[in-house]
Chain A
């Protein structure tokens, strides 16, 4: 037995080759663009091979499914990868030290923006909330962060961009941020600190300084790949399901029906969309392909986006988690303020996009 093999400790791994990783990443991105350009002709060629009548309902539905599925999955992969790299520059602890003691107003803006780029998992919501509040981040500023983090995420933006277009994606980003900033600011104005659960107010934890972990370029690329594995691996089923429902709507649901229920003339559809959206819990992944089909069939953009924001930002599971730190009264204020903000966005969109 040689000395090397008797050791229970593996020899130190060789340093990862940065140049090879960067070259691999650049190569993959170029390959992505080449492949993406071929999707449309490939989808049409494939649909033409199928025994469906060209131009008919079935052809519409099949073409939608065959073209949109790879398109959406590819775009999502690219966006999630890029966002994974961006997020490797941020952490909740860093966001907290940037926001602690910050004044409201500017603090709300900073919190909402940080909410987008900071890695955040919903099971971290409570530790994050206490960690922020106990370290001196104002309550309203903390809310701005917590509203923006789930609502304006890369999956929602990437899918909107892929399916509905960059204008709508950009508008969603701007208005999602606006809802988070204004709602947080309003909640801050109410001075509801005494409506937190008692034990939360008594947590006296100084913010700790984490040892600085050296993060290399390779680590960041790995973070991007991990994000793709994690997020795309989790949502692809929902996307397929959403696209299937969307394809059905595309092919078979009559325009008149959707226009009558969700069209611009039905003003009540915006509040209805918000209320229906609260108990629904779906990821952005499942809901956006459906939304795209609804818009194509004459649903008003504001109504549809209000529905989407409500589904994503106001979810029952999240409230049940937050109930551990917030009193019911504070949760009611939170839902009311955010709900009104979404309502305003819905009406505004319907007025703006004709």
Chain B
């Protein structure tokens, strides 16, 4: 079970990012818990300066803009 957090105030890109990660997890058959972190203070606590950010199992793997589709499987494995 991978714990995935999407950091972002709820803009269109953040939603797309969450959908991309969920779809990729479904495709790979990896079980994940997906949490959207929208609180600014909480987002800032992760130390990123641009959104959307992606945190997998407590580690920031991406910040700023949509992730590349090719990168997502590597984070979920």
Contacts and interface: CB of A to CB of B under 8 A. Distances in A.
B49 A131 contact: yes
Contacts, number: 91
A199 B13 contact: no
Contacts of A124: 50-51, 64
A127 B9 contact: yes
B13 A130 contact: no
Contacts of A37: none
Interface residues on A, range: 20 to 34
B48 interface: yes
Contact of B47 (A95, A205, A211): A205
A208 B50 contact: no
**Which of the listed residues B47, B63, B68 has the most CB atoms from chain A within 10 Å of its own CB?**
B47
B6 interface: no
22 contacts: A9-B27, A10-B27, A91-B64, A92-B50, A92-B64, A123-B11, A123-B13, A123-B51, A127-B7, A127-B40, A127-B49, A130-B40, A203-B41, A203-B45, A205-B47, A207-B49, A208-B48, A210-B61, A210-B62, A213-B62, A213-B68, A324-B40
Interface in A294-348: 324-325
The 9 closest A-B pairs by CB, nearest first: A131-B49, A92-B50, A123-B11, A208-B47, A130-B44, A92-B49, A205-B47, A203-B44, A96-B49
A33 to B, nearest CB: 30
Interface residues of B, number: 29
A131 B29 CA distance: 35
Contacts of B50: 91-93, 119-120, 124, 127-128, 131
Interface in B33-77: 40-41, 43-51, 60-65, 68, 70-71
A206 B47 contact: yes
Interface string A113-156: 00000011101101110111011000000000000000000000
**Which of the listed residues A95, A119, A120, A130 has the most CB atoms from chain B within 10 Å of its own CB?**
A130
Main secondary structure of the interface of B (DSSP, over half): mixed
A9 B28 contact: yes
A13 B47 contact: no
Contact of B41 (A92, A123, A199, A210): A199
Nearest to A97: B49
B40 A126 contact: yes
Given A123-B11, A127-B9, A8 B47 contact: no
